[in-house]
């Protein structure tokens, strides 16, 4: 395994210009890799397309739906019982069904996005410049040049490097982001985790 530093750029021109700056700074061409990243969800990791078997943000939604349906049907049945003198016995069943439906939707929506504190932040689409940074000194130079070049995000990874390529790059793996370009378009900044 080798230490890799990589930046995602908005366009090929910025990525290529940064790769040239890295070469001028002493990085050998065999230690630089540049490639296009598809948008999240478009890496075709699965036979029918897509990247993941399920949406991590939907985890637990079925439990919320069941709980909401149970609570909603109970409330709806009580409301139907109160309406029985006006509508008849069918009001209880209609109230329970309506309550179950509304409760299941509410329960599902309350659970969506709750993924036990785990933050899934997919890598954005763009052009990646990866650097085989074999020492701490090289790593800092690479980070600085990626930042100045306008990388949207800069990440650090352990990976396999062979014949000038990051051979085990996984576009679906959450990046270990060490710097991010601010929203105004300025250089990437900060040590983020």
Q: Give the domain CATH number at 12.
A: 3.30.70
108 vs 165: which has the higher pLDDT: 165
Are 129 and 105 within one domain?
Answer: no
List own/partner pairs for 186-190 with CB under 8 A and 24 or more apart: 187/147, 187/148, 187/150, 188/7, 188/146, 188/147, 188/150, 188/151, 188/152, 188/153, 188/154, 189/147
Instruction: Provide the domain limits for residue 100.
Output: 56-111
Task: Please report the pLDDT score of residue 6 as a whole number.
Answer: 96
Are 61 and 94 within one domain?
Answer: yes
Task: Please report the pLDDT score of residue 174 as a whole number.
Answer: 84
26-64: pLDDT as tens digits: 999 999 999 998 887 655 554 555 555 555 555 666 776
Are 126 and 164 within one domain?
Answer: yes
62-105: pLDDT as tens digits: 776 677 667 767 776 777 777 777 777 787 777 677 767 777 77
Task: Please report the pLDDT score of residue 193 as a whole number.
Answer: 32
Are 31 and 62 within one domain?
Answer: no
Are 156 and 185 within one domain?
Answer: yes
Are 83 and 126 within one domain?
Answer: no
Are 171 and 138 within one domain?
Answer: yes
115 vs 152: which has the higher pLDDT: 152
Backbone angles phi, psi at 27, to 5 degrees: -80, 130
Are 138 and 183 within one domain?
Answer: yes
Task: Please report the pLDDT score of residue 192 as a whole number.
Answer: 40
Are 154 and 63 within one domain?
Answer: no
Are 30 and 75 within one domain?
Answer: no
Task: Please report the pLDDT score of residue 191 as a whole number.
Answer: 45
Give a yes or no: residue 23 inside a domain. Answer: yes
Task: Please report the pLDDT score of residue 172 as a whole number.
Answer: 81
Task: Please report the pLDDT score of residue 59 as a whole number.
Answer: 60
Are 126 and 181 within one domain?
Answer: yes
Task: Please report the pLDDT score of residue 154 as a whole number.
Answer: 96
Give a yes or no: residue 73 inside a domain. Answer: yes
Statement: residue 13 has pLDDT above 90: yes
Give a yes or no: residue 175 inside a domain. Answer: yes
Are 133 and 182 within one domain?
Answer: yes
Give a yes or no: residue 45 inside a domain. Answer: no
Give a yes or no: residue 129 inside a domain. Answer: yes
Give a yes or no: residue 51 inside a domain. Answer: no
The mean pLDDT of 124-129, rounded to a whole number, is 93
Q: Count up the domains in the chain and report the number.
A: 2
Task: Please report the pLDDT score of residue 70 as a whole number.
Answer: 75
């Amino acid at each position: 395994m080798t230490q890799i530093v990589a930046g995602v750029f908005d366009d090929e021109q910025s990525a290529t210009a940064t790769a040239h700056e890295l070469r001028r700074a002493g990085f050998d061409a065999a230690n630089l890799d540049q490639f296009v990243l598809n948008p999240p969800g478009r890496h075709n990791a699965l036979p029918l397309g897509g990247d993941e078997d399920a949406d991590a943000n939907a985890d637990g939604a079925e439990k919320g739906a069941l709980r909401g349906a149970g609570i909603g049907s109970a409330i709806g049945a009580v409301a139907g019982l109160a309406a029985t003198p006006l509508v008849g016995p069918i009001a209880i069943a209609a109230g329970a069904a309506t309550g179950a439906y509304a409760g299941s939707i509410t329960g599902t929506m309350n659970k969506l996005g709750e993924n036990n504190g785990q933050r899934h932040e997919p890598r954005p689409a763009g052009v990646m410049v990866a650097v085989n940074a074999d020492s701490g000194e090289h790593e800092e130079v690479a980070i600085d040049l990626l930042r100045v070049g306008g990388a949207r995000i800069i990440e650090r990874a352990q990976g396999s490097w062979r014949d000038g390529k990051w051979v085990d790059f996984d576009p679906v793996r959450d990046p270990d982001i060490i710097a991010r370009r601010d929203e105004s378009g300025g250089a990437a900044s900060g040590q983020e985790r």
